[in-house]
Amino acid sequence: MTPPTADLRIPKHRVRVELCFAAGNVRRSEIFITEHDSRTWRRRDIHDLFEQTKTFLPTHDLDDGSWMVISRDQLQWVRIMDEPPREEDEPVVDDELFDVQRAVRVELAGGTALSGDLLYSPPPGHTRVADFLNEPGRFFPLWTESGELLVGKSHVVRVLEMPQA
């Protein structure tokens, strides 16, 4: 069997992430975002990749160089290590603006705790943290001092709202 030619391959962006598995081990990896109309990717593309219905995702392990397929269901959290590319003179612009910010402590199965902010724009009358967490999807974004995490909902034991400063 001959390998596919370059014209049949789908162009992809390599994005570096840290993956924390249910057992607590953290691996630095690359994931691959399909190029669409533009040559850039956005954070939303990574969220969408982890929300797909397919259970398994191919990755390239940066720690040992191996290629592997991981189960999205076993991920406690994902840290996005790269920033979306932009032109040198292009200003940094947030993709989204949010109406609600809540400081929280997220306790995960196995005893890990994460502290950060939930940022979201709820429909009227649904501003509670519980409303946000009960939205559809496997993951929710948590903004921490070290960057954005996507937290696996199935690994959350409880979420504590912290007093506002």
64 and 106 belong to one structural domain: no
Over range 65-69, report the average pLDDT. Answer: 95
115 and 62 belong to one structural domain: no
- End-to-end CA distance of the chain: give it in Å, rounded: 63
Question: What is the number of domains present in the chain?
Answer: 2
21 and 64 belong to one structural domain: yes
156 and 116 belong to one structural domain: yes
Angstrom distances, CA of residue 151 to CA of 7, 76, 84: 36, 6, 20
123 and 75 belong to one structural domain: no
118 and 147 belong to one structural domain: yes
The answer to the question of residue 91 being in a domain is no
User: How would DSSP label each residue in the chain?
Assistant: -PPPPGGGSPPEEEEEEEEEETTS-EEEEEEEEE--SSS---HHHHHHHHHSS-SEEEEEETTT--EEEEEGGGEEEEEE-SPPP--TTPPP--S---SEEEEEEEEETTS-EEEEEEEE-PPTT--SHHHHHTSSSSEEEEEETTEEEEEEGGGEEEEEEPPP-
Instruction: For strands 56-61 and 67-71, give the pairing.
Output: antiparallel
* CATH code of the domain covering residue 157: 2.30.30
Residue 7: predicted pLDDT: 56
Over range 19-26, report the average pLDDT. Answer: 92
- Domain of residue 25: give its range: 13-80
73 and 115 belong to one structural domain: no
For 43: left if phi > 0, alpha if psi spans -120 to 50, otherwise beta; the answer is: alpha
The answer to the question of residue 86 being in a domain is no
pTM over 0.85: no
Residue 133: predicted pLDDT: 95
Is a pLDDT exceeding 70 seen at residue 46? yes
152 and 110 belong to one structural domain: yes
Quick: pLDDT tens for 75-126.
999 999 877 655 555 544 455 677 888 999 999 999 999 999 999 988 888 8
110 and 154 belong to one structural domain: yes
Sheet of strand 56-61, all strands in order from the earlier edge strand to the far edge: 67-71, 56-61, 26-34, 12-21, 75-80, 147-152, 139-144, 113-120, 100-108, 156-161
